[in-house]
Structure 1
C-alpha cells in the first residue's frame, strides 16, 4: 500500500494543467487588443506621424516622426571613438540664423555681366567703382569713342579711414582690357580725367562677382 500511494502522489505532482480552447482564445484576443492599442497610440504617431486618437501628439511622439521626415539621412553622433563629425553629424545650435544667411548673401555677390556708357565731361574727372571681396576676379574691357583719357585704375580697402588706396595702372590711353584679382575687400575701379575740351564717352564691359558702386 505504501508503494501504491507513492506512485499515486508522484503521478499527481507531474500532471500538467491543460487550458481549454476558450481560455486560449480569450488570451489571444486580449493580446491582439493590447497590440492594436500600442500600434494606434504609439507606433503610428512615432513612426508615420499618424495619430487618429491624439494621444501621440499629447505624448510628443509625433515630433519624432516629423523630425525623421524632415531629415531622412542617418545621423551620427560625435564621440571619443568618432571625434571627427561626418557630413550628417548632429549639430546643436550651429545652424545659421536668417539674418546670418542674409548677411552672407550680401557679402558674397553672385556672378554678373554689365555694360555701361560713362560720359566724362570736358576738362573734368569722374570715378566709376565696383565693390568686390578679397581674391575675386574682375574682367573688364573699356574703350572711348575716340579721345584719350588720363586714368588711375585703383582700389580702396573696405573700412579704411586713412585715405589709403592702391593703384594698379596709371597712364593715358583710349582703351584698356584685362583681369584684376582683388588684393583686398573694398571698392575697385577707375578715375578718368578728360583733358580735352570735348566730352568723351567710355564704354565699359565687366564680368565678375561684384556690386556696382558707380
Structure 2
C-alpha cells in the first residue's frame, strides 16, 4: 500500500527559507549570549542589560570566586612541593589556669589593597565554638571560611564562601586544627576589615 503522506518538493522548505531560519536562530543565540550568558557567567556586559537585570554582579562574583579557588589550589600545590617554606605568624594565647574554661577574645583590624589577601585562623579543638563578627568598610570582599589540620592531614575543609561586606555567627570546629577566614579585596580601592572573635581557641595563626 502506497503512503499518500509523503511530502512533495513543493511542501519542503526551500533552501532560502532554511538559510533564513538558520540566520535567525544564530541571531537569537547571539543575543542571548551577549545579554544573558556573558553577564551571568563571566561578568562581561557589553550592552548594559546585564546590569539592569542584576546578572553582571552575579557573573563578577562567580569569576572572582573561581579565581580565588584557582589561586588557592595553586597555593596548596606549592605547599605540597615546598612545605618547609610555609611561613605563618602564630600568636599563642596565654595559658588559662582552668583548662576546661578557655574562653578567649581577640580583635583584628587590617587594610587590604586591591587584589590583596589576608588569612587569619584560630587553633581549635574539635567541637569548640567561637562567636565571630567581621566587616569591611570600603566595599565587598571575597571570603572563604575554612579549616586545615596538619596532624589529621587535612589540607582544606570548607565552611562557607561568598562576597559581602559583613558576616557574623558561630564557627564550630569540625576537627582539631586551624579554623578561620581568608579575605581578598577584588575592588578598585583599599578596604578596611575588622574581625572580632570570642570563644574556645588556644592560638591565632596569621598568613
Q: Normalized per residue, which structure has more strand?
A: 2
Bigger CA radius of gyration: 1
TM-score, normalised with respect to structure 2: 0.48
Greater relative CO, 1 or 2 (CA 8 Å, sep 6+): 2
